[in-house]
Amino acid sequence: MGMFTKLAVAAVVLASMSTVAMAADLVVDVPMVDEVSPSDWSGFYAGLGLTGTAYTPGADILGSIDAIAGVNVVADMFVLGVEGQISGYTSTFGNGIQVSGEVRGGVLASPDVLIYGSLGDTYFVTGGGNYVTAGVGVELKVAEKTTLDLEYKHGWGTNVAFQSNSLSASVLWHF
């Protein structure tokens, strides 16, 4: 190999090494995806909701208005919380009040989306029925301190012969 050929090979090797170095620099300079801020989902919240529930066999709740309060804690991308509700309802079998509580656990799919499961208990102050519930939901951040919570729950009567299926939508304000 002649001197000219050796210099040409050396130049190509050096040029390719500097190109690799520049490409590596480009990878380092690519902005990272925003990390989830635990303060966005941690702490107390309160809100209002609407729920529609169908009871089987045969008795349908037409709807309820719900007052909601809860608290969340965040561990990495996981959110754990407890929530309580008091609801006024109107139904085919009368009007009344129910109270419920649940534990929730979920994962942040993104900084603005929480997907969760819930286990709870609902007690009818008017009428005395009691239901154990299991649900799934998604909570979406719609403003800095405001979320929209959509949830499906199934309930099993513990002292009545009914089962329930409910859908709810709530607006929650985080403090």
Question: What is the full per-residue pLDDT of the chain (175 aa) written as tens digits?
Answer: 554 444 444 445 545 554 444 444 545 444 444 444 545 799 999 999 999 998 888 767 779 999 999 999 999 999 999 999 999 999 877 899 999 999 999 999 999 999 999 999 999 998 888 999 999 999 999 998 999 999 999 999 998 888 999 999 999 999 9
Per-residue confidence (pLDDT) for residue 65, from 0 to 100:
97
User: Measured on CA atoms in the order 71, 87, 166, 172, is the torsion positive or negative?
Assistant: negative
Per-residue confidence (pLDDT) for residue 31, from 0 to 100:
40
User: Measured on CA atoms in the order 63, 61, 88, 115, is the torsion positive or negative?
Assistant: negative
Per-residue confidence (pLDDT) for residue 161, from 0 to 100:
81
Per-residue confidence (pLDDT) for residue 59, from 0 to 100:
66
Residue 61 sits at the vertex; the CA angle it makes with 49 and 106, to the nearest 5 degrees, is: 45
Query: Would the pTM of this model clear 0.95, i.e. be above it?
Result: no
Per-residue confidence (pLDDT) for residue 58, from 0 to 100:
72
What stretches of 8-145 adopt beta strand conformation (E)? 43-56, 60-75, 78-91, 94-110, 113-124, 130-143
Q: What is the rounded CA–CA span in Å between residue 62 and residue 52?
A: 6
Query: What are the tens digits of pLDDT across the range 81-128?
Result: 999 999 999 987 789 999 999 999 999 999 999 999 999 999 999 888
Q: What six digits make up the tokens of 80?
A: 């754990």
Q: What six digits make up the tokens of 25?
A: 């620099």
